[in-house]
Structure 1
Amino acid sequence: MRLVLREAREAAGYTQLDVAEQMEWSLSKVIRIENGDVTIAPNDLRPLLNYLNVKDRAQVADLLATAKIARTRQRQAWYQKPEFREHLTDGLRRLIEYETEATSVYTYSVFHIPALLQIPSYSSALIQMWRDDLTDTQRHYRLEARRLRREAVLERSHPLRMTVVLDESVFWRAVGGPQVFADQLEEVLRLEEQQSVAIRMFPFTADTGLSYDAGFDILFLGDEDEATETGDKINAVMYRETGASDEVIEDKALATRHFARYRKLWEAATNEEETVDFIRKRVRELR
């Protein structure tokens, strides 16, 4: 929703201040709507779409229906409760919202197993590494958020398709100790067997360069439009996390470039069957 509104505003040549003055809203309200910090009421959405020259009846009807659902969902969403709003970053809360809408996610990581695949003991050991940067309360709510995110994704009626490339170093870095890490790898195998995730390992011997980003997620919204050589932009957003800080990037051109890089990493990586065999071997060694 927020991407559609922002793109319509930019296509019409209006600034956020133009919208605020026309709609008789505060500038902060416009900014918060476009940032996804608040939802927009259908009664506010109708005149806004008219002002932005969004006239297609099917699109307007779809946006109004989406706005109604979003308002209901936001009132009920666990991550909008005061305790979570206080201790989660804006980027993380926006990521959680996108995860409820995304059809697929492509994840690349150099350092650790991705959050949506983590078991609690692994998550706890991992977040302890940031004990100098996060308070006990922050760590508690971020761990709880990670657990609830994972449950929400795995229990969706239309499962989120997860595709993951992990650097080989991830499989050698026994976060939490041998037993915890063995349990974590067995969970990855379980999810792979259930076809909840497709996973490949980027080996030390690969002749393709690593990404400059240590890790990122690309979430597709709706149908997956292929990024092409003509410069078409994919309908996706990007999430990037660095230690205790993070951000959601809604620039489609940047997401397109990272997805093109992701595909090169995927093609250079060990295939799924060989990756699974490697993980099983690591579990035996750890046990």
Structure 2
Amino acid sequence: MAEAMEWSLSKVMRIESGEVTISQNDLRPLLTYLGIKDKARVESLVAAAKLSKQRVQWWETPQYRDLLTPAIVQLMGLEQSAKEIRYFYPMVVPGRLQTPAYTRAVLETFSGELSEETIEARVRMREKRRETFLDPDEHPDVFLVLDESVLYRQVGGAEVLREQLEHLLTLIGDRRIAVRIIPFKEQSPIPMLATYEIVSLAATEGDEDEAVLYRESDTIDEIVEDKEKIRRHREIFDRVWHGAYDEQTSAGLIKDHATALA
């Protein structure tokens, strides 16, 4: 495509990754090259390109963009259009569902690898993501798998963990999320993989074309669009989901731990 359009390879990569939007002048010849000639569809896409140029999201401003990884920037853009999100988090509560105190405690474990400025930016970023998720108008269906160890791990201390667990209970009570806990028992599946999220842009079972995988380990993260890898991770998620406590039992377990911490 870069060769056909006489663009640099880096330009194509930046457009594909969502780092930059595409201009109307670039989009029209690109659509011709791709064989998209239906007038109504062309005008719809051009209008969308124009709108994307006008709408600068908060995470695209210099105070955030230079301190966030390209994968996080792309993930936050995808979250805006998500229909379903599946969180596989065997160690901690996922970032978008964290309270500010819990977020800070998690990120301070990377103080030797991340600058204070970067940590502060990511604390603010996670709080804004949480606020966006709590918007009552529209939100994706969220399915969260946590290992039972998360309920015991006092990230930031007992009070911080209690507040975090109570926040999860509020989200469960409001039917904003569905949570299942992987129990400490022999027949339950072992959460072997690192944390990952599957963001589905269409609520269609098994449609890997409309989904992306975000995974992270330590300070390394990436967006994966390989259909086979997305399918495999979805299968693992489903297997663990069905092997975990059901939602009612899981909510009761979370409540018991929050009460004990109080």
Scaled by the length of structure 2, the TM-score of the pair is 0.94
Answer yes or no: is 1:284 the counterpart of 2:243.
no
Equivalent residue runs for 1:113-132 within 5 Å: 113-132=93-112
Is the Cα–Cα contact under 8 Å of residues 213 and 223 in structure 2 kept in the other structure?
Answer: yes
Report the counterpart of residue 146 of structure 2 in structure 1: 166
Q: Which residue of 2 aligns with 1:51?
A: 33
Match of 1:225, as an amino acid? T
1:199-238, Cα deviation, whole Å (9 max, x unpaired): 01011215253343221100001x22222xxxx6352001
> Structure 1's 50 and 133: CA in aligned 2 closer, same or farther, altered over 3 A?
same
Deviation at 1:29, TM superposition (A): 1.2
* Distance 1:206-1:190 versus aligned 2 partners, 3 A rule: farther
What count of residue pairs does the alignment treat as equivalent? 262
- Write out per-residue CA displacement over residues 68-117 of structure 1, whole angstroms, 9 at most, x where no aligned residue: 332222xx211111121211111111111111111110001111011111
2:3 to 21, 24, 34: 21
> In structure 2, the residue corresponding to 1:274 is in which secondary structure?
helix
The amino acid of 2:118's aligned partner reads Q
Structure 2 residue matching 1:37: 3-state secondary structure: coil
Q: Percent identity?
A: 37
Which is further off, 179-188 or 77-86?
A: 77-86
Q: Can you list the C-alpha shifts for 1:14-60, whole angstroms capped at 9, x where unaligned?
A: xxxxx223323222211211121110012311210110123455543
Contact 2:182/2:188 (<8 A) preserved: no
Q: Does the 8 Å CA contact 1:235/1:252 hold for their aligned counterparts?
A: no
**3-state SS of paired residue (1:102):** coil
1:185 maps to which of 139, 143, 165? 165
In structure 2, the residue matched to 1:16 is none
* Alignment RMSD (CA, Å): 1.7
Q: Distance in 2 between matches of 1:30 and 1:234?
A: 20
Q: Which runs of 5+ in 2 are unaligned?
A: none
1:138–1:33 Cα change, 3 Å: same
Counterpart Cα distance in 1 of 2:164 and 2:40: 46
Partner of 1:97: 77
